[in-house]
Amino acid sequence: MRPSKVARAAGTGASVPIECCQICGHAPLDAVLSLGYMPPVNQMVRIGEVPRQQPWFPTTLLHCRNCELVQLGLAVDPVIIFPPEYPYTSGTTKLLRDNFADLQRESASILGLGADDLVVDIGSNDGTLLSNFKNAGIRVLGIEPTDVGDIANQRGIPTIKRFFGIEVAREVKRKHGPASVVTAANCFAHIEDVHAIVDGIVEMLKDNGVFISESHYLIPLLEAVQYDTVYHEHLRYYSLVSLQHLLEMHDLEVFHARPIPSHGGSIRVYAARHGAHVVQDSVQRMLSAEPRGEAMTKRLAAFRRDVILSKLRLLSMLRELKEKGARIAGISAPSRASTLVNYVGLDEGLIDYVCEIAGSLKIGRCMPGTQIPVVDEARLFSEQPDWAIVFSWHIADELAPKLKDKGFRGQLITPLPSPKVI
């Protein structure tokens, strides 16, 4: 059964609580964890600006016992979370670029795509994913509501600058014909009316067309205590069980799924109309490895305990360093750092500054909800603070050697799953 009540925050200029499951409509939902009130992750005021009032929103995770979806307890108006000047571009991270190249290779080999096929990407960002299909000689079309869509158009990836919905889907089908593949990488957890999105996707697909989604995967999120990926952009935290439940409601069958490394642990799922493609063993393998029912309830309770302990351990480590007079900086300011900083209670008294690579749009601003300045990483090498916390800890293996090569002599801390000197 579809939810009788969809929490629609769009157009409210504020937020709406989620009172029943976004996938199956079940109520009441069980509380998993509260991270308190959080500022929107892109709310970064300029350094030195006089503090003024800012919106903060409750950040609570809920679990649906019926379909296993873990979800945020509040939907915030997308104009607050994704302003037109939204600074995120997917093409800037090597890991994501490599992943999109892999997605193209894998799907082309499974589906045998050719010049007549059309690939539509929802939430196409700067066109990085589609550029792989275009280079392989396949027709592409992006749909991206923010100004980042202009970058894609300039790069020769045709992009419609609108929020995706059934109207846009019908228009795409009329003008370009049905799609062989529709992709949604990391926006499938973001859009508030998920059933409307799947309706739009089904509308665009050929009879044997394939929908490929990539989303944060709940299982590695729990295992690596990645509570820092919980923020208002991410309305849903999918397991394969919950994703399959959603797709089945639209008569789509999951025929292949596998874990991928993006964002510290994601899942790539292939779905199509029933019987259109042979169901691979990967689906059952992944499903049987996921906890459900009582086992999931217990797993989530353990996660909550892990989150609370990780906060206390990080604070106690920083307290010891501060009592000895240490200078502590932060390395990189991804969205997830906002949740960590605000949940743990880090501020400019503990963290002197956070470094970003030259050219980052975040330089000259403060970490959300704090007055910790974000500065050019040149300062890290000139000032050589004793310690630095790696906020992009999920790619610390890639970052640490680079920082040492560039001349950083201090010690590095990864804050999660449990704080550690690396």
Contacting positions for Zn ion (CB under 5 A): 21, 23-24, 26, 64, 66-67, 69
- The least CB distance from residue 225 to Zn ion, in Å, is 24
- The least CB distance from residue 218 to Zn ion, in Å, is 13
Closest CA to 326 of 352, 357, 356: 352
User: How many other C-beta atoms lie within 10 A of the C-beta of residue 162?
Assistant: 13
- The least CB distance from residue 67 to Zn ion, in Å, is 3
Between 69 and 72, whose beta carbon lies closer to Zn ion?
A: 69
- The least CB distance from residue 36 to Zn ion, in Å, is 25
142: left (phi over 0), alpha (psi -120 to 50) or beta: beta
Separation of alpha carbons 121 and 141, rounded Å: 6
Contact 123, 233 (CB under 8 A): no
- The least CB distance from residue 123 to Zn ion, in Å, is 23
Between 67 and 230, whose beta carbon lies closer to Zn ion?
A: 67
Between 57 and 238, whose beta carbon lies closer to Zn ion?
A: 238
Separation of alpha carbons 119 and 210, rounded Å: 10
- The least CB distance from residue 104 to Zn ion, in Å, is 32
Between 62 and 143, whose beta carbon lies closer to Zn ion?
A: 62
HSE-up (13 A, CA, CB side) for residue 213: 25
- The least CB distance from residue 301 to Zn ion, in Å, is 19
What are 259's two structure tokens?
A: 């874990």
Between 67 and 212, whose beta carbon lies closer to Zn ion?
A: 67
Phi, psi of 308 (to 5 degrees): -65, -45
Between 64 and 210, whose beta carbon lies closer to Zn ion?
A: 64
Separation of alpha carbons 165 and 304, rounded Å: 35
Between 24 and 340, whose beta carbon lies closer to Zn ion?
A: 24
- The least CB distance from residue 64 to Zn ion, in Å, is 3
- The least CB distance from residue 302 to Zn ion, in Å, is 21
Between 22 and 414, whose beta carbon lies closer to Zn ion?
A: 22
- The least CB distance from residue 317 to Zn ion, in Å, is 38
Judging by DSSP bridges, how do beta strands 118-122 and 30-38 pair with one another?
unpaired
Between 219 and 363, whose beta carbon lies closer to Zn ion?
A: 219
Between 24 and 221, whose beta carbon lies closer to Zn ion?
A: 24
Separation of alpha carbons 385 and 367, rounded Å: 19
Separation of alpha carbons 208 and 271, rounded Å: 10
- The least CB distance from residue 29 to Zn ion, in Å, is 8
Closest CA to 101 of 135, 144, 126: 135
Between 18 and 328, whose beta carbon lies closer to Zn ion?
A: 18
